Each structure stands twice: as structure tokens, then as C-alpha cells.
């Protein structure tokens, strides 16, 4: 992980400032006008330069760093190499190794040496309100290919999960519709069974016996229909849940 170990400002609003930056979260606290924004802008300017800087931020730099001011950063790279980055508004940026030798092959004015950016509270709220505005597109453009690939893979997984859930929901709705239809059919059967007239217990013994057996069968069928109707209703409730 890259670390910025020290920030130094010569000239401008914070002349002679030399601040060691420990690893981890750093909070800069101070009253209005004490230089918090100037310090943050100086840090961003040292790394990215003034290319693409808004007029408001450039005016802040010019007023507080000045044409003769110089911002110097001491950094440690992923490989543990010490670098010194020095930049002024009217001077070309210089990148040196720990022993003072120039580092070649790095275009410091494009801000690709150490990707970094900072936003104040109003800017963060404005970015959050954008659906996919210019600032968000710029942030996406700064993603490494591996990071962008990981985001696409994650989005693909979520889409597949959503599609699978949608298929399950559609299947559950079809089951609910089938159960509702079956419940209506068995409700009709139950109503017809309830409407059957009881068999009179008069007449010859054989006819009476057959009628009694038929009555018992009707009662059993009515009971089974009622049980099945309850089971269908329970299945429907489960499917809806």
C-alpha cells in the first residue's frame, strides 16, 4: 500500500509547514480559516497537479500557495521505495528517488503517478445526488481494469440471482393459481354433497341397507373432501408466504 509520510509547504498561506502523516486514518481539526482546505488542496495539487482543476480550487491554490510556493511530499511505494515529489504552480513537477535521483517514465501532470482525489462536504452530496453524472463517470474511468472486471462479475452474479428469484416467484404464482382453482372445484363438490337429500329409512330391508351404505359413503366422501380442502388452503397459504 502506498503511504504519504510527510507534507511540506514552502511559501504561501502556510509557509514553513512540515507535517508528518502517520499511517491510518488522519483527522485534521481546526477553526474556520486555519488552513484545513488549503492543506487538503496542497496535497491534491502535489499529486495530481492543476490539470482539470475547477476555477474555485485553482483560485484557492493561487491565493494560498502562490506562484512561488512549493509543495513537497515524501512517499513510500508498494515496493517499499522512497520517493520525493515536489511541485509548484509555476514550476514543473519533479519526482526523485530516496537518494535524490530523478525518476523517469512517469507523467506527473496526468495524475497517474498516485491516483488520489478529495472532495468537500458539498461536493460529496452533489456526487451522491447524481444518478450517473460526469463526476461518477470520471471516477469509474479511474478504476483499474481488474477493479472494473470485479465490479462487472459482481453485477453479473446479482443479475443471475435476481433472474432466479424472478423465476421462483413466477412458479409460485402459477402454483397459487392452480391451488385456487382446485379449491374452487372441491368447494363445488362439497356443496353438491351437502345438498344430497338424506336417504329415508323406510322400505324393504335390502333397499334400506343399500341406502344406508350409500349414506355412509357420502359422509366419508364429504369428510375426505373437507380434509383435502383444508390441505389445499394450507398449501396456498404457504405458497403465498
| Pair (160, 102) in one structural domain | no
Tell me, yes or no, whether 20 lies in a domain: yes
Evaluate if residue 163 carries a pLDDT over 80.
Answer: yes
Range of the domain at 198: 152-240
DSSP annotation string for 104-169:
PS--GGGT-SS------HHHHHHHHH-SS-HHHHHHHHTS-HHHHHHHHHHHHHHHHHHHHHHHHH
Tell me, yes or no, whether 127 lies in a domain: no
pLDDT of res. 65? 77
Confidence of residue 131 (pLDDT cuts 50, 70, 90): low
Confidence of residue 186 (pLDDT cuts 50, 70, 90): confident
| Pair (104, 172) in one structural domain | no
Pick the closest to residue 229 from 176, 180, 173, 175 (CA basis): 180
Tell me, yes or no, whether 48 lies in a domain: yes
Mean pLDDT of all residues in 28-54: 80
61-81: per-residue pLDDT in tens?
778 777 777 888 898 887 788
pLDDT of res. 77? 81
Confidence of residue 223 (pLDDT cuts 50, 70, 90): confident
Indicate which CATH number applies to the domain containing 36: 3.40.50.300
Chain-wide mean pLDDT for the chain? 78
Calpha distance 229→218 (Å, rounded):
16
Q: What is the pTM of this model?
A: 0.46
Evaluate if residue 199 carries a pLDDT over 80.
Answer: no
Calpha distance 57→6 (Å, rounded):
22
99-118: per-residue pLDDT in tens?
888 887 777 766 566 666 66
Tell me, yes or no, whether 180 lies in a domain: yes
Tell me, yes or no, whether 143 lies in a domain: no
Amino acid at each position: 500500500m502506498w503511504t504519504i509520510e510527510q507534507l511540506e509547504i514552502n511559501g504561501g498561506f502556510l509557509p514553513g509547514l512540515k507535517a508528518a502523516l502517520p499511517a491510518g486514518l488522519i483527522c485534521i481539526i481546526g477553526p474556520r480559516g486555519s488552513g484545513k482546505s488549503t492543506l487538503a488542496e496542497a496535497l491534491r495539487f502535489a499529486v495530481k497537479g492543476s490539470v482539470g482543476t475547477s476555477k474555485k480550487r485553482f483560485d484557492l491554490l493561487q491565493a494560498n500557495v502562490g506562484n512561488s510556493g512549493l509543495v513537497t511530499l515524501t512517499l513510500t511505494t508498494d515496493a517499499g521505495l522512497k520517493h520525493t515529489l515536489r511541485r509548484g504552480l509555476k514550476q514543473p513537477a519533479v519526482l526523485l528517488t530516496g537518494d535524490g535521483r530523478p525518476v523517469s517514465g512517469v507523467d506527473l501532470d496526468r495524475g497517474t503517478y498516485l491516483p488520489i482525489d478529495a472532495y468537500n462536504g458539498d461536493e460529496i452530496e452533489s456526487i451522491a445526488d447524481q444518478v450517473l453524472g460526469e463526476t461518477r463517470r470520471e471516477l469509474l474511468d479511474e478504476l483499474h481494469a481488474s477493479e472494473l472486471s470485479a465490479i462487472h462479475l459482481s453485477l453479473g452474479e446479482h443479475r443471475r440471482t435476481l433472474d432466479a428469484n424472478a423465476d421462483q416467484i413466477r412458479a409460485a404464482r402459477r402454483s397459487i393459481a392452480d391451488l385456487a382453482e382446485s379449491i374452487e372445484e372441491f368447494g363445488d363438490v362439497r356443496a353438491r354433497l351437502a345438498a344430497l337429500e338424506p336417504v329415508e329409512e323406510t322400505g324393504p330391508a335390502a333397499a334400506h341397507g343399500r341406502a344406508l351404505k350409500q349414506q355412509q359413503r357420502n359422509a366419508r366422501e364429504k369428510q375426505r373432501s373437507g380434509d383435502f380442502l383444508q390441505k389445499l388452503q394450507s398449501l396456498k397459504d404457504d405458497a403465498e408466504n
